[in-house]
Structure 1
Amino acid sequence: MASTVAPLNVDVVAVNTTTQNSNASTATKAFNPVVCYSPMMMTTNGMWQDEGVNPLEFSLPLFIVQVAVIVITTRLLVLLLRPFRQPRVIAEILAGVVLGPSMIGQSELWASLVFPVRSLLTLETVAHLGLLFFLFLVGLEMDVDVIRRSGDKAVFVAMAGMALPFCMGIATSFIFRHQVSRNVHQTSFLLFLGVALSVTAFPVLARILAEIKLLNSELGRTAMSAAIVNDMCAWILLALAISISEVDSTALSSLWVLLAGVTFVLFCFYAVRPLMWRIIRSIPEGDDVSNAQITLILTGVMIAGA
């Protein structure tokens, strides 16, 4: 029997909300879409038993088709980009562009058949799980002590790599502020666009360095250290932009997120890391890690990602 676990279709309900304009005496009405999900069957009883039933209306066959399409498209782009000596992550990014709304996704038939809205939640969940464990593997291959020894060099590289794109983002925001940010705080928009153009995608950088075997080289350690500093600065500036643009409650929440992140990092360094070292030392030389220890580690990774 099939089980109900995911949405089948999407009903958009217009909710009438009233917004008060401080400079006018009348209220204007806006319609905010509310997405309602109805149950979706997990899997079919088979193509031959359920005649006339589209397998793509069920979550598991649809997910398998989506993964197959993504993998095949990525592999084809890898082959096409191989003569140009491009890393695989570039092909994966281009595959997202090709399959997304920028190109093939503009077709309503393709979007509704292969990548319907009801399936995106499942696809994004699996993608984030993959990213979570990939970053965990990257962390296993990194030597924190070596990165720490990069010191001033990493900070200088991060600041130098962030300064020019940040200034370009601010300059661009002056050009597009009337089209994009009509009702947005000007200073907040400047900071947000500057951060968006200057931040280094840590997972992408780690993937490129790991693929070309430079993750533990001097260049790779400097690049990863600079990326960490870059990400820290980006999150601080982003929290500042949110604090400037929103009300006090949102400003306090952004500050809380920043403090919670710092607390989590300190907890990992001073509590989780010694525990991991204790587990490693408890394993006799030549023995494998037990299933219980692997389960504990992987569970901790998922809890950390939550």
Structure 2
Amino acid sequence: MNPVGWILLDLLVMFVAAKVFAEACERIRQPAVIGEILAGVVLGPHMLGWIGVPNAAFTHAFGSDAQAAGHAFDLVIHTVAELGVVILLFHVGLETRLSDLTQTGPRAVLVAIAGIAVPFGLGFSFMAMVQESA
């Protein structure tokens, strides 16, 4: 099979696994996006390694240069992942109602401020302690 065929097969496996994991999560009353993320973790190079590792046909297309083939393969997977994030955020934006935002507004602002201020304060404190001891 040619290299494009292998990339398309990898994409098919990713989409099918994401759908299967999403359905499984919905059956146990969890958000579908959790299942989609779990599918990526399971299939990715750090667990099963089924996705993200160029095969011999793909490497042969680059003149048997495994490093160039790996870089090209990573670029393809990264681009598809970025498109997936854009589509996910667009989909979430379509499902968000303005009334939901106004109801959770004050609490969301406090969480956002704490999510920035607390790590900043901890990092600054750690830096000050390390700098004094050096």
- The normalised TM-score by structure 1 is 0.29
- Give the CA deviation at 1:124: 1.9
Structure-2 separation of matches of 1:155 and 1:64:
42
Structure-2 separation of matches of 1:148 and 1:79:
31
> Quick check: 2:23–2:32 contact (8 Å CA) kept in 1?
no
* Counterpart AA for 1:70: M
Structure-2 separation of matches of 1:143 and 1:121:
35
Structure-1 separation of matches of 2:53 and 2:98:
44
| Matched pairs, number | 113
Does residue 75 (structure 1) correspond to residue 19 (structure 2)? The answer is: yes
Q: What is residue 187 of structure 1 aligned with on the other side?
A: 127
Structure-2 separation of matches of 1:156 and 1:113:
48
Q: For residues 229-248 of structure 1, what are the alpha-carbon distances to aligned partners after superposition, in whole Å with 9 as ceiling and x for unaligned?
A: xxxxxxxxxxxxxxxxxxxx
* Counterpart AA for 1:99: L
* Counterpart AA for 1:88: A
Larger radius of gyration: 1
* CA-atom RMSD in angstroms: 4.0
The structure carrying a bigger strand percent of its residues is 1
Structure-1 separation of matches of 2:83 and 2:14:
16
Q: What is residue 119 of structure 1 aligned with on the other side?
A: 73
The structure carrying a bigger helix percent of its residues is 2
* Counterpart AA for 1:95: A
Structure 2 residues without counterparts, runs of 5 or longer? 59-68
Structure-2 separation of matches of 1:79 and 1:136:
21
- Give the CA deviation at 1:131: 2.4
- Counting only pairs closer than 5 Å after superposition, residues 192-231 of structure 1 correspond to structure 2 as none
When residues 71 and 187 of structure 1 are mapped into structure 2, their CA distance, relative to the original with a 3 A threshold, is same
Quick one: percent identity of the two aligned structures?
A: 33
- Give the CA deviation at 1:62: 2.2
Structure-2 separation of matches of 1:151 and 1:85:
26
Match of 1:64, SS state, is helix
Q: What is residue 245 of structure 1 aligned with on the other side?
A: none
When residues 103 and 159 of structure 1 are mapped into structure 2, their CA distance, relative to the original with a 3 A threshold, is same
Structure-2 separation of matches of 1:81 and 1:143:
24
Q: What is residue 288 of structure 1 aligned with on the other side?
A: none
Structure-2 separation of matches of 1:126 and 1:102:
18
* Counterpart AA for 1:94: L
- Give the CA deviation at 1:142: 4.1
Match of 1:128, SS state, is helix
Structure 1 residues without counterparts, runs of 5 or longer? 1-54, 174-185, 191-306
Q: What is residue 244 of structure 1 aligned with on the other side?
A: none
When residues 120 and 79 of structure 1 are mapped into structure 2, their CA distance, relative to the original with a 3 A threshold, is same
Structure-1 separation of matches of 2:82 and 2:38:
18
* Counterpart AA for 1:187: M
Structure-1 separation of matches of 2:40 and 2:17:
9
- The normalised TM-score by structure 2 is 0.57
* Counterpart AA for 1:136: F
Equivalent position to 1:158, from 94, 98, 112: 112
Q: For residues 67-102 of structure 1, what are the alpha-carbon distances to aligned partners after superposition, in whole Å with 9 as ceiling and x for unaligned?
A: 111122223323443442222111111111111222
Q: What is residue 44 of structure 2 aligned with on the other side?
A: 100
When residues 134 and 74 of structure 1 are mapped into structure 2, their CA distance, relative to the original with a 3 A threshold, is closer
Does residue 129 (structure 1) correspond to residue 83 (structure 2)? The answer is: yes
Structure-2 separation of matches of 1:126 and 1:112:
15
